Chain A
Amino acid sequence: MNLIAKKTNISNSFFIFRTLTQNYVKETVNAHEVEHHSNMKEYWWNSNGPLNALHSLNPLRVSFIINGLTNMKKIETKNIGTRQSLENIKILDVGCGGGLLTEALARLDGNVTGIDPSKELITIANDHSVILKNKNIKYLNESIEEHALSNTESYDAIVTSEVLEHVSNKYGFLTKCVDCLKPGGSLFVTTPNRTIYSWLSVIILGETFNFIPKGTHEWDKFICPHELQSILEINCKCDTITINGLSYDPFTNRWSWTDLTDLSYAIHAVKSA
C-alpha cells in the first residue's frame, strides 16, 4: 500500500517536472488570450448574452468561497448568513475580467481588489462598479507577477475563477498567487477538467452551439484536479481542503454541485501557516 502511494507521488512529481520544462514561459499572461477576452467587452455584463453561463455560475462560486471561509473560521459569527458575510476580509480576484465575481464579493462587504491584464475589461469593470455604493472595491490593470511585487502575504483569500485554463504557465501563476496570500489564507480556484467529457461539452457542444463564445478555450491548456492539487501541495505549500465537481445544464442555464469532477471543478486550498 505504502509503495503504491509513493509511486503515485513520484509520478506526480515527474509529471509536474515535465509540465514545467515543457511549458515554461516566464510571463503567465498570453497575449492572444487577453485579446480574445478583451473582445468580450460588449456583452460582459449582459446576463442573457453569450456569457450567461458565467453569470449563472456566480451564486455557486460565491457560496463556495463563503463556505470555505466559514470552515476556516474567517467569517465573524455575527455576519454568517447575512449580506455582510465578507466584512473585514481582504480578497484578491486574479483575472477578474469585467468584474462579475469581484462585484459580488464586494457587495458582501469584502475588501476586494480585482486585477486583469486586459485594459478593456478593467475599464468595463470600473465603469460598471458605479452601481455599488459605499463598497470596498478596487481594480488594477496588471498581471499577478506585477501585483505580487508589492503585495506579498497581504490577502486573506485569493480567488481565481475560470482563469487557470487560459494560463500556459500554471506553476508560475499559482506560486505568484500564493505569494500574495497570508499564511493560513485560502485559495479558491474553479476551472474545467481536462477530460473527454469536458472536451465534448466545452469545446464541441459549448462553442459550436454558442453557449460559450467561439475560441474561448484551448482544451490542451485545461488542468486535471490531481495535477492542480500536486502543484498546490508540493510547490506552493498549500493543503487541499475540498474539491467539488460542477455540472452545467445549458438548457436551463443552471449550475449544480456533483460528486463527479469530469466537467468542471472547484478547489479550496489553504496556505500552510
Chain B
Amino acid sequence: MCMCQLKKMYQRMIFVSSSSIHLKTNMMSLNSSVNRLYLSLGSVANYSSSKKYYDIVIAGGGMVGCAMACKLSKEAALRGMSILLLEGGPNRKEYDLSLKKNTLDKNYSNRVSAVSKSSVQLLQSIGAWQIIEDLGRNNAVKEMRIWNSGAGRSGGINNVLTFDNDNDLAYIVENDTILGALYNQINEDQNITVNYNSRVNQCNLSDSHRDLAIVKVANGDISFETSLLIGSDGYGSKVRSAISGQQYISWEYGQRAVVATLHIQSDEDDTYKGHVAWQKFAQLGPMALLPLDDKTCSLVWTTSYEEANRLAELSDNEFIDALNDSLSEEKESNNSSLLLADDAVHILSKVLNKYCQSNCDRQNKKIKSIPPIAVGLIKDSRASFPLGFGHACQYVGQRVALIGDAAHRIHPLAGQGVNLGFSDVTELSYQLNQSVLTGSDIGDLNALLNYQTAAQRRNVPIMLGVDGIQKIYGSKNNLVPPAIITLIRNVGLTFCQSVSIVKKLLSDKASGLPI
C-alpha cells in the first residue's frame, strides 16, 4: 500500500515539474495565438531572459528563405504553425511591386535569375508565379547558344551548342521581382511574422532532442526559441557555423562577376529573337547574356579581379566597346600551337561521331549564329560580385536545416544557384510534411536526414559539373600551357556537341528536370 502511494506521489511530482518548465503566459495580447511566449523557469542560466517561441524560425529572407516560409505555411500538415522570418536587411522599397506595374518604362534591375521549370512549379504552388506573370516580368528562354573563343579552323558551327527544347528552357526574372512576389504572399499570410533588420548573430543548438533551438539577434533583447531553425542566410551563413561537426568546403575562384543591363541589337530574322540566352566561354571566363525582352539583356560577365577592376573604371561607352570586343574575340586562331589543338579536336570529334552514330540521333543543325551586339546600357546598372564555391558537408543537425546558398554556393555560369535553393525548399517541405503527418516533432532528425540525403544526391553532381566546366573553361591557369587549355576546352565542347545524349542530359539539368 505504502509503495503504491509513494509511486502515485512520484508520478504527480513529475507532472507538476514538467508543466512548470514551460509556463505559458499570454503577455502579448496582440497576436497571442500565433506568438506564443514561453517564460522559461527551468534552468538557472536562462532565468531572467525572456524567450519567444515559434514553431519554425527561418534565418535569412532572401529568395530561398522567403519561398521556404510560404511553402511551409501552405503544407496541409503544417497549416497553422507559427513561422518567424528573420531578415538582416531592411524592408526594401524594391519589394513594392506597384513600382513595377508601369510596363511602359521597364526599369530592369541588374540582378536576375534563370528560373527553371521546377522552380516555376514551386513558385506556382505558393501563388507567387501568378503575380510575376501578371506583371509580365518573366521572359521565356527558348534557346541557349554556347560558343567559345578558341574556335580555330573548325569554324563557327562546331562551337555553337543549341538546346532546342520543345518547351521553354527557363525564365529570366529579376531577383527583386521574385522577392517582391514572395513578400507579397508572406504579408498576406497570418502565420508568418517577418522581423526586418534582424541579423542572427547567435544560435544555440543542443544535441538533445528535448531542447529547443535558441536564436539571438544582434541588438535584440529577446531571444527566440524554436522547434526547427532553418538557415537560409546566404553563403556567409551564421546558422551553418553553429551546426556541430560542420565541415564547409570552399574556395574562391579569384574571379568576379560583372553585371549590367544592356540594350542590344540582335539578328532581326532570328526565330527566337528576344528568347535566346547566350553563353560565351571567353578567355578569362564565361560571359552570359540573359534576355529580358527583344532589346534588353542582363549581362553576367565572369572575369579576373584585375579585369573587373579595369572595367569598373571605364565609362559606359568604353565598357560597351570592351564588351563587344570580348564577345567577338577570335584572337587565338592565329596561334600555331592552337592549330595543333585544333587537329586533335578534329580527330576526337570524328572518333566520337563514329562511336555514337549507331545509338545517337544526331541533329546537326547548322546555325550560323551572330553574337548580339551591345548598343547601350541602363544607367547605374553596372556592378560586380566576387565568385566562389562552397559546400556544407552537413545540411542538417538536431533541430536545424540549411537551404540555398547557406548550404551550397556555385558559380553562376549555369544559372543554377537559386534553382538549387528552390529545390531544397521543395524537398525539405515535403519531408517535414510527411514526418509531421506521422506524429514526428517538426525538428525530428530522421526527417531532416532524409532531406539531406535527397538534396545532396541532387546538388552534388550539378555542383561538381559546374565547377568542372568552370575549371576547364573559365580560369586563366598559368601552370597549364594555353594550347592544352584550348584543347581541353575544344574537346569539352566538341564532346558535348557530338554526343547528343550528353547534350540532352545537360539541357535537362540546366532546366532542372529530373533525369
Contact = CB atoms under 8 A, between A and B. Distances in A.
18 contacts: A45-B210, A48-B445, A59-B446, A60-B438, A63-B437, A63-B438, A81-B437, A82-B76, A83-B77, A85-B437, A107-B440, A126-B11, A126-B14, A126-B18, A127-B14, A130-B18, A131-B210, A131-B441
B26 to A, nearest CB: 13
Given A47-B445, A107-B441, A130-B21, 9 more contacts: A47-B209, A48-B445, A59-B434, A59-B440, A62-B439, A85-B437, A103-B439, A107-B440, A131-B209
Contacts of A129: 18
Nearest to A106: B439
Contacts of B362: none
Contacts of A140: 11
A251 B479 CA distance: 44
Given A82-B76, A83-B77, A130 B22 contact: yes
A141 B77 contact: no
A23 B94 CA distance: 77
Contacts of B210: 45, 127-128, 130-131
Contact of A81 (B14, B76, B78): B76
A143 interface: no
Contacts of B14: 123, 126-127
B18 A133 contact: no
Contacts of B7: 119, 141
B115 to A, nearest CB: 30
A108 interface: yes
A45 B209 contact: yes
B11 A104 contact: no
Interface residues of A, number: 35
A106 B440 CA distance: 10
A31 to B, nearest CB: 16
Contacts of B24: 133
A107 B442 CA distance: 10
Interface in B415-441: 434-441
A55 interface: yes
Which of A62, A83, A131, A140 has most chain B Cβ within 10 Å?
Answer: A83
Nearest to B38: A133
B435 A59 contact: yes
Nearest to A130: B18
Interface of B: 7, 11, 14-15, 18-19, 21-22, 24, 36, 76-79, 208-210, 212, 227, 434-441, 444-446
Q: Which 9 A-B pairs have the closest CB atoms?
A: A104-B439, A59-B438, A62-B438, A126-B14, A130-B18, A107-B439, A108-B439, A62-B439, A83-B77
A48 B14 CA distance: 27
Given A82-B79, A141-B11, A46 B209 contact: yes
Contacts of A266: none
Nearest to A139: B11
A88 interface: no
Contacts of A81: 76-77, 437
Contacts of B19: 130
Interface string A39-66: 0000001111000000110111011001
B440 A58 contact: yes
Nearest to B437: A83
A66 B440 CA distance: 14
A245 to B, nearest CB: 19
A101 B18 CA distance: 19
A105 interface: yes
A130 B76 CA distance: 25
Nearest to A140: B11
A96 B247 CA distance: 38
Given A82-B76, A83-B77, A126-B15, A58 B209 contact: no
A58 B444 CA distance: 11
B214 to A, nearest CB: 14
Contacts of A141: 7, 11
Contacts of B437: 63, 81-83, 85
Contacts of B435: 59
A140 B11 CA distance: 8
Contacts of B436: 83
A85 to B, nearest CB: 8
A109 B116 CA distance: 39
Interface string A104-135: 11111000000000010011001111110100
Which of B15, B77, B434, B440 has most chain A Cβ within 10 Å?
Answer: B440
Contacts of A47: 209, 444-446
Which of B19, B36, B437 has most chain A Cβ within 10 Å?
Answer: B437
A127 B436 CA distance: 22
Nearest to A56: B446
A230 to B, nearest CB: 31
B15 A58 contact: no
Contacts of A82: 76-77, 79, 437
Which of A45, A59, A63 has most chain B Cβ within 10 Å?
Answer: A59
A63 B440 CA distance: 11
A60 B434 CA distance: 11
A75 to B, nearest CB: 13
Nearest to B80: A83
Interface in A60-99: 60, 62-63, 66, 81-83, 85
A143 to B, nearest CB: 12
B395 to A, nearest CB: 16
B243 to A, nearest CB: 15
B157 to A, nearest CB: 48
A107 B21 CA distance: 19
Nearest to B78: A83
Contacts of A119: 7
B444 to A, nearest CB: 7
